A and B are shown apart, each in its own frame.
Chain A
Amino acid sequence: MSNEQVRPSAPVPTTLPLSEIGKLIQSNPPNISYIQYDISLEPKYLPQIRALISKDLSEPYSIYVYRYFLYQWPELCFIAIDTTTSENDLVAVVICKLERHRGGPMRGYIAMLATQEMHRGRGLAKTLVSKAIDLMIAKNADEIALETEETNTAAMRLYESLGFLRSKKLHRYYLNGNSAYRLLLYLKPGVGQIPTDDFYDPFGYNDLPPSAQDDPRFPQGQADKDDLFRRGIV
């Protein structure tokens, strides 16, 4: 019986460098412009962002949730606007963050994604997500994560076509009682082996199994303070 630990092997090189991939995905439909968010856009676009996102939610996020993301990672928010409207109205948005996940890998997190109903099917969401991913790659992200409602097959198809995999199912994740899938994308080899300062002890075990390191919540009753983002899905 071997005592040798398995180490992940070198990646099979993709034909293109990661930084070039966005170009293949991003679409430029007529009369749509993409803008990287900036704090100065808040008076004009934050109310529209909130309106678009809360449309699909049973309970709204407070202004603090938006500002939590938009002030700390404004550059990771991208919006699509309709240039035929006199006010260049918002038609799609993606909001993200990027930080170390429990002291371990640099994790990008796609928090919210929404497209106005009449603009769906034009590749706007995919383009916005791809722009956010490109920037996360440029900022040296190790992995990207998100959650999506288990019945949201459109979202899963979008993310899976970009290379994400479902890594686990989360029972009754959202406040409306629906379950979710966590989707994960590794950008570098060996990410699964980066240690985190985590603690998983569901049955009073004393050791820390390495596979426990990405469990989203602490033992019963204690929500993980960095990952409790479960009001709704867009």
Chain B
Amino acid sequence: MITHDITDRFRTAANVVVPGTLIKDTQFSLFEAVGALEVGDPKMDSGCLELGESPEEQFDLNSPLLPEELLWLMDQLLNREVAWLTGYPLSQTLFTSVHIDRLLWPDPKTLDESTFVRNDAAQATNLPHAILRAFCLLLVKSCSLVLTMVTEQHYYEEEDFTTQLFNRELLHRFSSESILENAQYALQVLQSANFESEVSTALAGRIRLRCEILQMLVHHAAGQSIDDTSFQAMHDIFDQVQSTSSFGVEVKDAFSTKLQRRLASTVPPRPMVTVSMDQVWTFWHQMLYDCQNIFSVHAAGHSQDLLTAYQLFAYSCPQPSPYPRALLQSFLTLNSMVASRLEPLHFLEEDLRSLTLPASPLLSTSRKDYGTPFFGKSEIAKNMQGFVDKVEHYFITVYRVFCLNACRIRRTFCHALVEWDAIQGEMEEIDSLIQSLSLEQPSLPPGSSQPAFSFSLSSWVYHHKLTIHRLTIQTGIQQMIYAPHELAGMHYYLASICGIHLNHLERMCHFVVDRDTAIKQSDFRVDIKAKGAAECKMALDRLFRQYAWIKATNLVASALHIIFVVLNRWKIFSVSKPLYSNDALRYEIRMKPFLNLVIPELMSPEEFAHETNMQQSSTEVLLDEAARLSASAKKAWEEVSKTSWNIFPLDEAPYVRTGTDGQASVLDTKWNDDVKGCVRASIAAGICVVKLKKAMHDEAWKEKAKKEAMLPGPGDKGRWHQWWLVPALP
């Protein structure tokens, strides 16, 4: 290293600068300013010490530990692990533990080397330390498996998870088996120890719990769930751990932020993060349930059912934490199969077959049945391959999006929408080519005077795009992105996108019926004809189910549209005039995700305002309409509730999991709750309408409503469903 003394040059240069002048590199960014440390400020400078303060933590690892102290340490570690699992860095959670620190640093080359005090024979025979060490090794190995699962999937650093390890390897190189073996040894040691029996049992329970957690994670890494007995055992041990937590006795200085100095010298000291002990138990139970339940998606025997299953998890309240979401995401690519069932190509074809291409020679899996020699080697196959190559990735990504955190789901949909719009354009070209090569005859779709072609591929794309479009708006409502005065417009927009989707579904049905007729009139073999007819029937079933759901959504949205229009007219939620903006500029911000879509083309702000406000209709007329709409909405959701989450029969599914209660499957329950929430929201909308009708000429009520009306937030009473924001009125 070559060093130069620059003191004199610095002083000379500094002399020419007037005091107060900022010397700033042009590249010095806000990011660097925020990351910069102020030397000498104890809140920022990790090297800054109080007078007489030691730079090292004060904990003596050789001092004996009482059994109750062991227990306290274990519960504290469970607590900090929860903080880490919810997104906080290790440096503020588990790495504030002196014990974990010594176990992992310097990096142990063998498992035996991973001890609290290195090269100390006395330590090895110290009972409490052996027990605590076993617990810590199990814990660290679990963290390692969690980290691997999360980082192998798509996640957002610092939002979902913080992966900085500060060069600690988390026992990556040591097998889970060796660590579990060591735990068995520790359990034996514990039995032979002369601890008071209640505390001894409590400690053994904690070690066994950690063994179960580690084994569960090992199973997950191999794409397997644990059996129901182990699952139930884990909950039982957790209850036992919770009930004995009060035995713990605090160990002073066992956790210290001073350890952060050894992790990185350039990071300001950050406070330790702990959660309440109640949160610890709630979190663990929830995480175990989520992990176990997520395997129920394997019951889905069809791409559409799988989409429903992923959606049900994405919109669970609370949303599963990052680890279970990563686990759910891992099923999309496990052993190169989607949900352990199909290769991505066949998965995509399954979806196409059930929506726009039943009994079609275009799909590789049915080409030999419905193809002519002309199909197999022609340009058509080449074009079809072009479609698959382009779309396969985007299609799987839709499932992946449902595994992101709620905020990212919406934001990623905004991007995906633009991409699907572009794909639709490209697929229209492929459709046109196939249409001319296959000499397709146009037919007359419902409500149209012009014969049309099926445009099967782009039609499939449009269907999925409209779903994403609708979900983008609905997640906006879910996340309270829209201010109260915008809700009339956004519900109008939601209803209008649903309306477009309903028309499109009718068009899709029309061409499936056409195909059905063609198959029946064809000279295919009898069994092939029967198979083709069955495929067409299945597609029609699926389209009908989509139709029913979107129709119900359309009706609630339309009812709420009117309710918010009336509230706007009466200025119940109104804000003062938006001074620095106007309707057109705000429309541009709000509609930015949809601004560039080729189809459906965004209407002008004037047209949008006209359609939203319905100035031509009197409030009386509107409320009569809203009463009719909310009643129809309720009926429509009740119809939906008579069906189930899956269309593909479960007994034909390759893998069926029932819930731990041995009755309804997890997804059945989730789906029923979901639809019931929509029914309740429709009823609540109906009640709103009744209140508004009654208050038509009641100025006192309106004044009262201005003060008391509110929009129930997620999880609030009166928020019957995440999608549906029904105002709470006096």
Q: Does B518 contact A (CB under 8 A)?
A: no
Interface residues of B in 642-657 (CB under 8 A from A): none
Q: Tell me, rounded to whole Å, the shortest Cβ–Cβ distance linking B276 to chain A.
A: 14
A1 in contact with B411 (CB, 8 Å) = no
B481 in contact with A211 (CB, 8 Å) = no
Q: Which residues of B contact A161 (CB under 8 A)?
A: 575-576, 578-579
Q: Tell me, rounded to whole Å, the shortest Cβ–Cβ distance linking B288 to chain A.
A: 22
- Chain B, residues 402-422, CB within 8 Å of chain A (1/0): the string is 000111101110110111001
Q: Which residues of B contact A156 (CB under 8 A)?
A: 483
Pick the contact of A177 from B88, B418, B597 — CB < 8 Å?
Answer: B88
The CA-CA distance from A193 to B140 in the complex, in Å, is: 49
Instruction: Say which size band chain B's interface belongs to.
Output: 35 or more
Q: Tell me, rounded to whole Å, the shortest Cβ–Cβ distance linking A121 to chain B.
A: 16
Q: Which residues of A contact B415 (CB under 8 A)?
A: 200, 202, 209, 211-212, 215
The CA-CA distance from A157 to B581 in the complex, in Å, is: 15
B581 in contact with A185 (CB, 8 Å) = yes
Q: Does A56 contact B (CB under 8 A)?
A: no
Q: Does A155 contact B (CB under 8 A)?
A: no
Q: Does B38 contact A (CB under 8 A)?
A: yes
Q: Which residues of B contact A1 (CB under 8 A)?
A: 428, 598-599
Q: Which of B150-158, B533-541, B675-683 contacts its partner?
A: B150-158
Interface residues of B in 3-40 (CB under 8 A from A): 20, 22, 24, 28-34, 36-38
Pick the contact of B34 from A65, A137, A186 — CB < 8 Å?
Answer: A65
B580 in contact with A226 (CB, 8 Å) = no
Q: Does A168 contact B (CB under 8 A)?
A: yes
Q: Which residues of A contact B425 (CB under 8 A)?
A: 3
Q: Which of B289-297, B307-315, B366-374, B582-590 contacts its partner?
A: B582-590
Q: Does A21 contact B (CB under 8 A)?
A: yes
The CA-CA distance from A4 to B600 in the complex, in Å, is: 11
Q: Does B86 contact A (CB under 8 A)?
A: yes
A67 in contact with B22 (CB, 8 Å) = yes
- A-B CB proximity, top 3 nearest: A163-B581, A163-B578, A171-B407
Q: Tell me, rounded to whole Å, the shortest Cβ–Cβ distance linking A214 to chain B.
A: 8
Q: List 7 A-B contacts (CB under 8 A).
A: A11-B584, A24-B579, A62-B41, A157-B575, A163-B578, A165-B586, A231-B34
Q: List 6 extra interface pairs beyond A60-B41, A190-B588, A220-B157, CB under 8 A.
A: A2-B601, A62-B41, A64-B32, A162-B580, A165-B590, A186-B581
The CA-CA distance from A16 to B406 in the complex, in Å, is: 40
Q: Does A207 contact B (CB under 8 A)?
A: yes
A65 in contact with B31 (CB, 8 Å) = no
Q: Which residues of A contact B481 (CB under 8 A)?
A: 166-169, 181
Q: What residue of chain A has the Cβ atom nearest to residue B583's Cβ?
A: A12
Q: What residue of chain A has the Cβ atom nearest to residue B319's Cβ?
A: A171
Q: What residue of chain B has the Cβ atom nearest to residue A166's Cβ?
A: B481
B86 in contact with A192 (CB, 8 Å) = no
B159 in contact with A11 (CB, 8 Å) = no
Q: Does B105 contact A (CB under 8 A)?
A: no
B157 in contact with A12 (CB, 8 Å) = no
Q: Which residues of B contact A205 (CB under 8 A)?
A: 419
B414 in contact with A211 (CB, 8 Å) = yes
B43 in contact with A60 (CB, 8 Å) = yes
A209 in contact with B419 (CB, 8 Å) = yes
Q: Tell me, rounded to whole Å, the shortest Cβ–Cβ distance linking A47 to chain B.
A: 13
Q: Does A44 contact B (CB under 8 A)?
A: no
A162 in contact with B486 (CB, 8 Å) = no
The CA-CA distance from A221 to B581 in the complex, in Å, is: 35
Q: What residue of chain B has the Cβ atom nearest to residue A58's Cβ?
A: B271
Pick the contact of B589 from A162, A184, A230 — CB < 8 Å?
Answer: A184
Q: Does B376 contact A (CB under 8 A)?
A: no
Tell whether A171 pairs with B156 under 8 Å between CB atoms, given A209-B419, A228-B34, A229-B30. yes
Q: Which residues of B contact A24 (CB under 8 A)?
A: 579
Pick the contact of A2 from B41, B482, B575, B599 — CB < 8 Å?
Answer: B599
Q: Which residues of B contact A63 (CB under 8 A)?
A: 38
B29 in contact with A64 (CB, 8 Å) = no
Q: Tell me, rounded to whole Å, the shortest Cβ–Cβ distance linking B384 to chain A.
A: 21
Q: Does A10 contact B (CB under 8 A)?
A: yes
B24 in contact with A168 (CB, 8 Å) = no
Q: What residue of chain B has the Cβ atom nearest to residue A16's Cβ?
A: B579
Q: What residue of chain A has the Cβ atom nearest to residue B83's Cβ?
A: A177
B33 in contact with A189 (CB, 8 Å) = no
A226 in contact with B29 (CB, 8 Å) = yes
Q: Which residues of B contact A192 (CB under 8 A)?
A: 588-589, 592, 595
Q: Which of B37, B159, B482, B606 has the most CB of A within 10 A?
A: B159
- Chain A, residues 42-73, CB within 8 Å of chain B (1/0): the string is 10000000000000001111111101100100
Q: Which residues of B contact A230 (CB under 8 A)?
A: 34
A226 in contact with B30 (CB, 8 Å) = yes
Pick the contact of B38 from A62, A68, A224 — CB < 8 Å?
Answer: A62
Q: Which residues of A contact B597 (CB under 8 A)?
A: 6
The CA-CA distance from A190 to B588 in the complex, in Å, is: 8
A6 in contact with B601 (CB, 8 Å) = yes
The CA-CA distance from A4 to B271 in the complex, in Å, is: 55
Q: Tell me, rounded to whole Å, the shortest Cβ–Cβ distance linking B87 to chain A.
A: 6
Q: Which of B157, B271, B408, B415 has the most CB of A within 10 A?
A: B415
B422 in contact with A207 (CB, 8 Å) = yes
Q: Does A85 contact B (CB under 8 A)?
A: no
- Chain B, residues 138-165, CB within 8 Å of chain A (1/0): the string is 0000000000000000111111100000
Q: Which residues of B contact A172 (CB under 8 A)?
A: 87, 158-160, 405
Interface residues of B in 481-511 (CB under 8 A from A): 481-483, 486
Q: Does A25 contact B (CB under 8 A)?
A: yes
Q: Does A39 contact B (CB under 8 A)?
A: yes
Tell whether A64 pairs with B33 under 8 Å between CB atoms, given A1-B598, A169-B407, A187-B580. yes
Pick the contact of A71 from B22, B418, B578 — CB < 8 Å?
Answer: B22
A65 in contact with B418 (CB, 8 Å) = no
A215 in contact with B33 (CB, 8 Å) = no
- Chain A, residues 147-165, CB within 8 Å of chain B (1/0): the string is 0000000001100111111
B483 in contact with A165 (CB, 8 Å) = yes
Q: What residue of chain A has the Cβ atom nearest to residue B416's Cβ?
A: A209
Q: Which residues of B contact A29 (CB under 8 A)?
A: none
Q: Does A35 contact B (CB under 8 A)?
A: no
Q: Does B400 contact A (CB under 8 A)?
A: yes
Q: Which residues of B contact A79 (CB under 8 A)?
A: none
Q: Tell me, rounded to whole Å, the shortest Cβ–Cβ distance linking A120 to chain B.
A: 18
B406 in contact with A171 (CB, 8 Å) = yes
Q: Tell me, rounded to whole Å, the shortest Cβ–Cβ distance linking B326 to chain A.
A: 12
Q: Tell me, rounded to whole Å, the shortest Cβ–Cβ distance linking A178 to chain B.
A: 11
Q: Does B205 contact A (CB under 8 A)?
A: no
A160 in contact with B483 (CB, 8 Å) = yes
The CA-CA distance from A188 to B262 in the complex, in Å, is: 51
The CA-CA distance from A128 to B581 in the complex, in Å, is: 18
Q: Tell me, rounded to whole Å, the shortest Cβ–Cβ distance linking A76 to chain B.
A: 14
Q: Which residues of A contact B24 (CB under 8 A)?
A: 71
B596 in contact with A6 (CB, 8 Å) = yes
Q: Does B641 contact A (CB under 8 A)?
A: no
The CA-CA distance from A181 to B410 in the complex, in Å, is: 13
The CA-CA distance from A161 to B573 in the complex, in Å, is: 12
Q: What residue of chain A has the Cβ atom nearest to residue B590's Cβ?
A: A165
B44 in contact with A8 (CB, 8 Å) = no
Tell whether A4 pairs with B601 under 8 Å between CB atoms, given A11-B584, A211-B414. yes
Q: Does A31 contact B (CB under 8 A)?
A: no
Q: What residue of chain A has the Cβ atom nearest to residue B268's Cβ?
A: A59
Q: Which residues of B contact A191 (CB under 8 A)?
A: 588
Q: Does A5 contact B (CB under 8 A)?
A: yes
Q: Which residues of A contact B483 (CB under 8 A)?
A: 156, 160, 165-166
Q: Does B605 contact A (CB under 8 A)?
A: yes
Q: Tell me, rounded to whole Å, the shortest Cβ–Cβ distance linking B392 to chain A.
A: 12
The CA-CA distance from A234 to B598 in the complex, in Å, is: 41
Q: Tell me, rounded to whole Å, the shortest Cβ–Cβ distance linking B59 to chain A.
A: 25
The CA-CA distance from A97 to B530 in the complex, in Å, is: 69
Tell whether A5 pairs with B154 under 8 Å between CB atoms, given A165-B486, A177-B88, A215-B411. no
The CA-CA distance from A225 to B29 in the complex, in Å, is: 7
Q: What residue of chain B has the Cβ atom nearest to residue A2's Cβ?
A: B601
B578 in contact with A220 (CB, 8 Å) = no
Q: Which residues of A contact B417 (CB under 8 A)?
A: 211
